[in-house]
Structure 1
Amino acid sequence: MTAQNFQYSFTTSKGTAEVFAHLLNPKNWWVGLFEERIDGKSNAINDEFSFSAGGGAHFSNQKLTELVAGSKITWLVTESNLSFLHNTNEWAGTKLCFTIEEFGDQTKVTFTHDGLVPHFECYGGCSRAWTQYLQNLEQHLA
Protein backbone atom coordinates (compact mmCIF):
# COMPACT_ATOMS: atom_id res chain seq x y z
CA MET A 1 0.00 0.00 0.00
CA THR A 2 1.38 3.41 -0.97
CA ALA A 3 1.15 6.53 1.15
CA GLN A 4 -1.73 8.83 0.29
CA ASN A 5 -0.69 12.43 -0.41
CA PHE A 6 -3.12 15.20 0.52
CA GLN A 7 -5.19 16.08 -2.55
CA TYR A 8 -8.14 18.38 -3.31
CA SER A 9 -9.96 18.84 -6.64
CA PHE A 10 -12.72 21.03 -7.98
CA THR A 11 -14.08 22.30 -11.29
CA THR A 12 -14.70 25.82 -12.51
CA SER A 13 -16.18 27.42 -15.61
CA LYS A 14 -13.08 29.66 -15.92
CA GLY A 15 -10.67 28.80 -18.73
CA THR A 16 -7.38 27.02 -18.20
CA ALA A 17 -5.26 30.08 -19.08
CA GLU A 18 -7.10 32.27 -16.56
CA VAL A 19 -6.90 29.62 -13.83
CA PHE A 20 -3.20 29.00 -14.52
CA ALA A 21 -2.36 32.72 -14.30
CA HIS A 22 -4.29 33.01 -11.03
CA LEU A 23 -2.59 29.98 -9.44
CA LEU A 24 0.93 31.02 -10.44
CA ASN A 25 0.78 33.81 -7.86
CA PRO A 26 0.40 32.29 -4.36
CA LYS A 27 -0.79 35.67 -3.06
CA ASN A 28 -4.00 34.94 -4.98
CA TRP A 29 -4.85 31.74 -3.10
CA TRP A 30 -2.60 31.04 -0.07
CA VAL A 31 -3.92 33.93 2.03
CA GLY A 32 -6.86 35.03 4.13
CA LEU A 33 -6.83 32.69 7.12
CA PHE A 34 -3.82 33.02 9.43
CA GLU A 35 -2.11 36.43 8.95
CA GLU A 36 -0.10 35.13 6.01
CA ARG A 37 2.89 36.87 4.49
CA ILE A 38 4.32 35.89 1.12
CA ASP A 39 7.61 37.34 -0.12
CA GLY A 40 9.46 36.61 -3.33
CA LYS A 41 8.54 35.65 -6.87
CA SER A 42 6.77 32.78 -8.57
CA ASN A 43 6.78 33.54 -12.27
CA ALA A 44 9.59 31.45 -13.77
CA ILE A 45 11.47 28.22 -13.05
CA ASN A 46 13.79 28.60 -10.03
CA ASP A 47 11.86 31.60 -8.65
CA GLU A 48 11.44 31.32 -4.88
CA PHE A 49 8.96 32.67 -2.38
CA SER A 50 8.62 32.37 1.36
CA PHE A 51 5.37 31.83 3.23
CA SER A 52 4.83 32.67 6.87
CA ALA A 53 1.65 32.50 8.91
CA GLY A 54 0.20 32.18 12.36
CA GLY A 55 2.49 34.67 14.05
CA GLY A 56 5.56 32.62 13.22
CA ALA A 57 4.01 29.17 13.68
CA HIS A 58 4.59 28.37 9.99
CA PHE A 59 7.50 29.35 7.76
CA SER A 60 8.37 27.66 4.50
CA ASN A 61 10.36 28.46 1.40
CA GLN A 62 9.18 27.24 -2.02
CA LYS A 63 11.09 27.02 -5.31
CA LEU A 64 9.22 26.84 -8.63
CA THR A 65 10.49 23.64 -10.25
CA GLU A 66 7.90 22.76 -12.88
CA LEU A 67 5.86 25.01 -15.10
CA VAL A 68 3.76 23.73 -18.00
CA ALA A 69 1.72 26.62 -19.40
CA GLY A 70 -1.97 26.13 -18.78
CA SER A 71 -1.62 22.72 -17.13
CA LYS A 72 0.90 22.28 -14.29
CA ILE A 73 2.69 24.22 -11.55
CA THR A 74 5.01 22.59 -9.01
CA TRP A 75 6.89 24.16 -6.12
CA LEU A 76 9.50 22.25 -4.10
CA VAL A 77 9.50 23.11 -0.40
CA THR A 78 13.21 23.74 0.22
CA GLU A 79 12.93 24.74 3.86
CA SER A 80 10.28 24.66 6.55
CA ASN A 81 9.98 25.68 10.16
CA LEU A 82 6.65 24.55 11.55
CA SER A 83 7.12 25.49 15.19
CA PHE A 84 4.07 23.54 16.36
CA LEU A 85 5.68 20.19 15.36
CA HIS A 86 8.39 18.01 16.89
CA ASN A 87 10.02 17.77 13.43
CA THR A 88 9.81 21.44 12.46
CA ASN A 89 11.32 20.72 9.02
CA GLU A 90 8.63 18.16 8.14
CA TRP A 91 7.60 19.85 4.88
CA ALA A 92 11.14 20.12 3.46
CA GLY A 93 11.40 18.05 0.29
CA THR A 94 7.65 17.90 -0.26
CA LYS A 95 6.03 19.45 -3.33
CA LEU A 96 3.00 21.71 -3.81
CA CYS A 97 1.44 20.85 -7.17
CA PHE A 98 -1.45 22.18 -9.20
CA THR A 99 -2.67 20.36 -12.29
CA ILE A 100 -5.21 22.00 -14.56
CA GLU A 101 -7.25 20.00 -17.06
CA GLU A 102 -9.92 21.02 -19.55
CA PHE A 103 -13.11 18.94 -19.56
CA GLY A 104 -15.53 20.32 -22.14
CA ASP A 105 -16.61 23.72 -20.84
CA GLN A 106 -15.16 23.07 -17.37
CA THR A 107 -11.65 23.28 -15.96
CA LYS A 108 -10.62 20.75 -13.34
CA VAL A 109 -8.10 21.99 -10.76
CA THR A 110 -6.27 19.44 -8.63
CA PHE A 111 -3.96 20.43 -5.80
CA THR A 112 -1.62 17.79 -4.39
CA HIS A 113 0.74 18.28 -1.49
CA ASP A 114 3.10 15.53 -2.62
CA GLY A 115 4.75 14.16 0.50
CA LEU A 116 2.13 15.33 2.99
CA VAL A 117 0.99 11.87 4.03
CA PRO A 118 -1.10 10.57 6.94
CA HIS A 119 1.87 9.46 9.04
CA PHE A 120 3.19 13.07 9.14
CA GLU A 121 2.60 14.77 12.46
CA CYS A 122 1.00 17.79 10.77
CA TYR A 123 -1.20 15.81 8.36
CA GLY A 124 -4.45 16.46 10.26
CA GLY A 125 -3.95 20.17 10.92
CA CYS A 126 -2.25 20.88 7.60
CA SER A 127 -4.95 19.01 5.66
CA ARG A 128 -7.65 21.07 7.38
CA ALA A 129 -5.81 24.31 6.56
CA TRP A 130 -5.23 23.26 2.93
CA THR A 131 -8.92 22.41 2.63
CA GLN A 132 -9.87 25.89 3.87
CA TYR A 133 -7.47 27.63 1.45
CA LEU A 134 -8.65 25.50 -1.46
CA GLN A 135 -12.34 25.95 -0.67
CA ASN A 136 -11.71 29.70 -0.69
CA LEU A 137 -9.93 29.34 -4.04
CA GLU A 138 -12.80 27.26 -5.40
CA GLN A 139 -15.31 29.94 -4.36
CA HIS A 140 -13.15 32.68 -5.90
CA LEU A 141 -12.93 30.83 -9.22
CA ALA A 142 -16.64 29.92 -9.27
Structure 2
Amino acid sequence: MSTDYTATITVDATPQRAFDAISDVSGWWGRITGTTTAVGDEFVYVVPGLHYSGFRVTELEAGRTVAWLVTGSYLDFIADKQEWNGSTVRFEIGESEAGTTVTFTHEGLTDEVECYDTCSNAWSMFVRGSLKAFIETGVGTPYDFGGDEELSADDHEHLHEGVREAVGTLTD
Protein backbone atom coordinates (compact mmCIF):
# COMPACT_ATOMS: atom_id res chain seq x y z
CA MET A 1 0.00 0.00 0.00
CA SER A 2 1.35 3.39 -0.97
CA THR A 3 1.32 6.39 1.27
CA ASP A 4 1.36 10.07 0.40
CA TYR A 5 4.62 12.00 0.66
CA THR A 6 4.84 13.62 4.10
CA ALA A 7 7.48 15.76 5.81
CA THR A 8 7.28 17.14 9.35
CA ILE A 9 9.28 20.04 10.73
CA THR A 10 9.41 21.57 14.19
CA VAL A 11 9.94 25.31 14.31
CA ASP A 12 10.67 27.87 16.97
CA ALA A 13 7.64 30.03 16.22
CA THR A 14 3.96 30.33 17.05
CA PRO A 15 1.39 28.33 15.07
CA GLN A 16 0.05 31.62 13.66
CA ARG A 17 3.50 32.64 12.45
CA ALA A 18 3.87 29.25 10.74
CA PHE A 19 0.43 29.64 9.14
CA ASP A 20 1.26 33.13 7.88
CA ALA A 21 4.59 31.98 6.43
CA ILE A 22 3.04 28.98 4.65
CA SER A 23 0.49 31.29 3.04
CA ASP A 24 3.28 33.59 1.81
CA VAL A 25 4.27 31.11 -0.89
CA SER A 26 6.67 33.47 -2.68
CA GLY A 27 8.75 33.77 0.48
CA TRP A 28 9.66 30.08 0.67
CA TRP A 29 8.78 28.28 -2.60
CA GLY A 30 9.03 30.79 -5.44
CA ARG A 31 7.24 33.46 -7.40
CA ILE A 32 3.51 33.00 -7.77
CA THR A 33 0.69 34.93 -9.33
CA GLY A 34 -2.68 35.03 -7.69
CA THR A 35 -3.64 35.08 -4.04
CA THR A 36 -3.52 32.64 -1.13
CA THR A 37 -5.39 34.41 1.67
CA ALA A 38 -8.95 33.04 1.41
CA VAL A 39 -10.68 29.77 0.58
CA GLY A 40 -11.36 29.85 -3.15
CA ASP A 41 -8.29 31.96 -3.98
CA GLU A 42 -6.22 30.67 -6.90
CA PHE A 43 -2.53 30.95 -7.68
CA VAL A 44 0.01 29.64 -10.17
CA TYR A 45 3.60 28.56 -9.48
CA VAL A 46 6.01 28.35 -12.43
CA VAL A 47 9.52 27.12 -13.10
CA PRO A 48 9.94 28.02 -16.80
CA GLY A 49 10.39 25.05 -19.10
CA LEU A 50 10.10 22.55 -16.25
CA HIS A 51 6.98 22.86 -14.13
CA TYR A 52 3.86 24.87 -13.55
CA SER A 53 0.95 24.22 -11.27
CA GLY A 54 -2.32 25.95 -10.65
CA PHE A 55 -3.80 25.76 -7.16
CA ARG A 56 -7.06 26.63 -5.45
CA VAL A 57 -7.06 27.24 -1.70
CA THR A 58 -9.55 24.73 -0.26
CA GLU A 59 -8.90 25.00 3.48
CA LEU A 60 -7.59 27.77 5.73
CA GLU A 61 -7.86 27.60 9.48
CA ALA A 62 -5.64 30.22 11.09
CA GLY A 63 -2.77 28.63 13.00
CA ARG A 64 -3.94 25.10 12.10
CA THR A 65 -4.48 24.12 8.45
CA VAL A 66 -3.69 25.18 4.89
CA ALA A 67 -4.73 23.07 1.88
CA TRP A 68 -4.49 23.64 -1.85
CA LEU A 69 -6.11 21.59 -4.64
CA VAL A 70 -3.93 21.24 -7.75
CA THR A 71 -6.31 22.44 -10.46
CA GLY A 72 -3.82 22.00 -13.29
CA SER A 73 -0.20 21.11 -13.75
CA TYR A 74 2.52 20.48 -16.27
CA LEU A 75 5.63 18.53 -15.27
CA ASP A 76 8.00 18.52 -18.24
CA PHE A 77 10.26 15.74 -16.92
CA ILE A 78 7.76 12.84 -16.76
CA ALA A 79 5.49 11.02 -19.23
CA ASP A 80 2.19 12.00 -17.55
CA LYS A 81 2.73 15.75 -17.65
CA GLN A 82 -0.41 16.39 -15.59
CA GLU A 83 0.28 13.84 -12.87
CA TRP A 84 -0.40 16.34 -10.07
CA ASN A 85 -3.89 17.27 -11.32
CA GLY A 86 -6.49 16.68 -8.64
CA SER A 87 -3.94 16.10 -5.87
CA THR A 88 -3.91 18.18 -2.68
CA VAL A 89 -1.05 19.89 -0.88
CA ARG A 90 -1.80 20.10 2.85
CA PHE A 91 -0.11 21.68 5.87
CA GLU A 92 -1.26 20.69 9.38
CA ILE A 93 0.05 22.91 12.16
CA GLY A 94 0.19 21.85 15.81
CA GLU A 95 2.00 22.47 19.05
CA SER A 96 4.40 20.19 20.89
CA GLU A 97 6.82 20.53 23.77
CA ALA A 98 9.60 21.15 21.24
CA GLY A 99 7.75 23.96 19.44
CA THR A 100 5.29 24.27 16.61
CA THR A 101 5.06 21.31 14.25
CA VAL A 102 4.15 21.59 10.59
CA THR A 103 3.23 18.37 8.82
CA PHE A 104 3.30 18.75 5.05
CA THR A 105 1.51 16.13 2.95
CA HIS A 106 1.14 16.02 -0.81
CA GLU A 107 -1.94 13.80 -1.09
CA GLY A 108 -1.58 11.84 -4.32
CA LEU A 109 2.21 12.01 -4.46
CA THR A 110 2.96 8.36 -3.69
CA ASP A 111 5.87 6.10 -4.55
CA GLU A 112 3.68 4.62 -7.30
CA VAL A 113 3.75 7.79 -9.43
CA GLU A 114 6.58 8.68 -11.79
CA CYS A 115 7.27 12.08 -10.23
CA TYR A 116 7.71 10.69 -6.70
CA ASP A 117 11.53 10.69 -6.43
CA THR A 118 12.10 14.09 -8.03
CA CYS A 119 9.06 15.77 -6.50
CA SER A 120 9.54 14.40 -2.97
CA ASN A 121 13.19 15.51 -3.04
CA ALA A 122 12.13 18.99 -4.13
CA TRP A 123 9.38 19.20 -1.50
CA SER A 124 11.83 18.04 1.13
CA MET A 125 14.28 20.79 0.17
CA PHE A 126 11.59 23.49 0.22
CA VAL A 127 9.74 22.34 3.36
CA ARG A 128 12.67 21.21 5.54
CA GLY A 129 14.96 23.99 4.37
CA SER A 130 13.32 27.08 2.92
CA LEU A 131 9.95 26.99 4.70
CA LYS A 132 11.51 26.15 8.08
CA ALA A 133 13.94 29.06 7.75
CA PHE A 134 11.20 31.37 6.50
CA ILE A 135 8.98 30.58 9.49
CA GLU A 136 11.80 31.02 12.02
CA THR A 137 13.72 33.95 10.51
CA GLY A 138 11.51 35.55 7.87
CA VAL A 139 14.08 34.64 5.21
CA GLY A 140 13.58 31.57 3.05
CA THR A 141 15.38 30.29 -0.02
CA PRO A 142 12.66 30.21 -2.67
CA TYR A 143 13.39 29.16 -6.23
CA ASP A 144 14.61 32.23 -8.07
CA PHE A 145 15.43 32.70 -11.71
CA GLY A 146 16.23 35.55 -14.00
CA GLY A 147 17.61 36.33 -17.41
CA ASP A 148 15.94 34.39 -20.22
CA GLU A 149 13.93 32.33 -17.69
CA GLU A 150 12.33 35.31 -15.95
CA LEU A 151 8.60 35.61 -16.50
CA SER A 152 6.70 38.85 -16.44
CA ALA A 153 3.43 39.36 -14.60
CA ASP A 154 1.69 39.06 -18.00
CA ASP A 155 3.40 35.68 -18.58
CA HIS A 156 2.15 34.46 -15.20
CA GLU A 157 -1.39 35.67 -15.91
CA HIS A 158 -1.36 33.90 -19.28
CA LEU A 159 -0.26 30.65 -17.60
CA HIS A 160 -2.86 31.11 -14.87
CA GLU A 161 -5.59 31.50 -17.51
CA GLY A 162 -4.24 28.48 -19.41
CA VAL A 163 -4.40 26.29 -16.31
CA ARG A 164 -8.00 27.34 -15.65
CA GLU A 165 -9.03 26.67 -19.26
CA ALA A 166 -7.19 23.33 -19.53
CA VAL A 167 -8.78 21.85 -16.44
CA GLY A 168 -12.14 23.61 -16.22
CA THR A 169 -13.75 20.55 -14.70
CA LEU A 170 -11.53 20.85 -11.62
CA THR A 171 -11.90 24.61 -11.22
CA ASP A 172 -15.67 24.84 -11.65
Contact between 2:21 and 2:134, CA under 8 Å: does it hold in 1?
no
Q: TM-score, normalised by structure 2?
A: 0.75
Match of 2:40 in 1: 46
Counterpart code for 1:109: V
Match of 1:110 in 2: 103
- Which protein is richer in strand relative to its size? 1
Separation of aligned partners in 2, 1:140 and 1:17: 13
Structure 1, 17-26 or 89-98: larger mean CA deviation: 17-26
What's the Cα RMSD here? 1.2
**Aligned pairs (5 A) from 1:20-35:** 20-31=19-30
Separation of aligned partners in 2, 1:102 and 1:49: 28
Equivalent residue in structure 2 for 1:140, among 130, 134, 144:
134
Is 1:75–2:74 an aligned residue pair?
no
Q: CA deviation at 1:56?
A: 2.1
Separation of aligned partners in 2, 1:91 and 1:50: 13
Structure 2 gaps of 5+ residues are: 137-172
Q: Which has the larger radius of gyration?
A: 2
Match of 1:124 in 2: 117
Structure 1 gaps of 5+ residues are: 32-36
Q: TM-score, normalised by structure 1?
A: 0.90
Separation of aligned partners in 2, 1:79 and 1:44: 19
Q: Runs ≥4 in structure 1, deviation > 4 angstroms?
A: none
Structure 1, 88-97 or 22-31: larger mean CA deviation: 22-31
Counterpart code for 1:86: A
Between the two proteins, the alignment pairs up a number of residues equal to: 135
Identical amino acids, percent of aligned pairs: 36
